[in-house]
Copies of this chain bind each other. A is one copy, B any other.
C-alpha cells in the first residue's frame, strides 16, 4: 500500500550536505547535498518543491550505489518517481543528489524536499567511517561534466555532482562527503578579479553566498555548526580562478566604483605585491579551516586546469606549515586537463575527474 510520509517523520533518513535543521521542508543548498534512505517496498517517490528565477536545479539519484537517473526540475511542488516494480522485501539504498551548486547568481534557486512515498518501510542508513569535505570552484561543482565539448552556455544542465572527483573519491574510499564550491570563484578573488568572490569569506556560514532575502529566511546565512559534522579530510581545490584573474581585465563594481585587478609585470611575470595578497589569503584560509576543523587533515589540491600558480600556492602552504608547525596540512597536484580528457566548456571531463579521484584517493590512503 503506497503511503505518503513527511520527511520529518522518517527518522531513518540521512541528510547530506550543509543545511539547516529544518525538515519542513528540507532545503538543499550545495552540490551533492541531498538525502539518502534505506527502504523496502516496490515503489518509491519523492515530493520536491522547486524555485528559481534564472537557473533551474537538476538532480541525480542512485539506487544501491548505481546511478539511475538525472533530470531537470521545473518550478513547482510535485512528486518525482524514483523506482517502481522492485522486489518488495529487499531493502534498497536510494540517494538523491542536488546536481547543481548553490547558485550565487540566483538567490531563488532551491530544491526543497517535503515528503516520500513508498509501500515499504524505512531502515537506518549506516554511518560511513570516513568523512570528507571538498572546497572548490567550478571543477568541484562538476561544471563541464555534461554536454558536448563544443558547449559554451553556462547553464545548470552542464553541471553535475555524480561524475566529479569528489563523488568518485568518496565512492572509492567508501566515505560520506560534502561539497562547498562556487564556479568562477577563488581563494582571493574570482576569475575576473572580483574580490567578493573569495570563497573563504563564506566558509563559516551554512550557505551565505546566495544573496537574497529568501536565503536569509531559509537560514542559509546562519553560522554553520562545525561540531555537528567534523570531516577527517578537508580537500581544498582553489587557485585556478585566481590564476585566471591575472589574465583578465580589471573588475569594476558599477554601483560603488570599486575596482580590482591582479596585475602582471611588463615582462609577463606576476606582480609580487598581488601574489603576496593571494598567499596571505591561502594562509588565512588554512588558519580558518584549522580553527573550524581542529583534527582534520587538510590537503590543498591544484592542477586540473594547469599549474600556473603552483609555486605560489605551494609556497604559501609551505610557509603556513613552517610558521605554525601544523603537520596535518599538505599539498597535492592533480592531473591536468588535455585534449584526451576534456569535457564541455573547456573544463575537465569525466576521464580527468576519474584520474584526479584516483590520485587523490590513493594519497588519502597514505595518510590514513
A contact residues vs B (CB 8 Å cutoff):
54-56, 58, 63-72, 74, 81-87, 146-148, 150-153, 155-157, 267-269, 272, 303, 306-307, 310-312, 314-315, 317-319, 321-322, 325, 327, 329-333, 335-336, 338, 344, 359, 362-363, 366
CA distance A277 to B9 in the complex (A): 61
For A267, the chain B residues whose CB sits under 8 A away are 327
For A66, the chain B residues whose CB sits under 8 A away are 146-148, 151, 344
Nearest first, the 3 closest Cβ-Cβ pairs linking A and B are A315-B318, A333-B333, A314-B314
State whether A86 touches B155 (Cβ < 8 A). Answer: yes
CA distance A87 to B147 in the complex (A): 14
CA distance A87 to B366 in the complex (A): 32
Q: Knowing A155-B86, A312-B318, A315-B318, say if A68 contacts B331 (CB, 8 Å).
A: no
Chain A contact residues, majority secondary structure: mixed
CA distance A261 to B45 in the complex (A): 42
State whether A153 touches B81 (Cβ < 8 A). Answer: no
Q: Which chain B residue shows the least CB distance to A86? A: B153
For A333, the chain B residues whose CB sits under 8 A away are 303, 332-333
Pick from A307, A315, A366 the residue with the most CB of B within 10 Å.
Answer: A315
CA distance A83 to B84 in the complex (A): 26
Q: Knowing A68-B146, A322-B315, say if A310 contacts B331 (CB, 8 Å).
A: yes
CA distance A212 to B335 in the complex (A): 44
Name 17 interchain pairs, CB-CB below 8 A, sorted by A: A54-B85, A66-B146, A68-B157, A69-B69, A70-B70, A72-B83, A85-B153, A86-B153, A87-B152, A269-B325, A307-B330, A311-B318, A311-B321, A311-B331, A314-B331, A315-B318, A332-B333
Oligomer copy total: 4
CA distance A179 to B293 in the complex (A): 45
For A69, the chain B residues whose CB sits under 8 A away are 58, 69-72
For A315, the chain B residues whose CB sits under 8 A away are 314-315, 318-319, 322
CA distance A359 to B335 in the complex (A): 8
For A335, the chain B residues whose CB sits under 8 A away are 359
For A155, the chain B residues whose CB sits under 8 A away are 83-86
Question: Which of B63, B82, B148, B359 is close to A63, meaning CB atoms less than 8 Å apart?
Answer: B148
CA distance A362 to B314 in the complex (A): 21
CA distance A272 to B66 in the complex (A): 43
CA distance A330 to B303 in the complex (A): 13
Q: Which chain B residue shows the least CB distance to A149? A: B66
Q: Given known contacts A64-B151, A85-B155, what 10 new A-B pairs fall within 8 Å (CB)?
A: A66-B146, A66-B147, A66-B148, A83-B155, A85-B156, A307-B330, A307-B331, A311-B314, A314-B331, A315-B318
For A317, the chain B residues whose CB sits under 8 A away are 311
State whether A64 touches B148 (Cβ < 8 A). Answer: yes
State whether A85 touches B55 (Cβ < 8 A). Answer: yes
Pick from A66, A74, A330 the residue with the most CB of B within 10 Å.
Answer: A66
Question: Which of B68, B329, B366 is close to A306, meaning CB atoms less than 8 Å apart?
Answer: B366
CA distance A362 to B335 in the complex (A): 11
CA distance A55 to B211 in the complex (A): 45
State whether B327 touches A318 (Cβ < 8 A). Answer: no
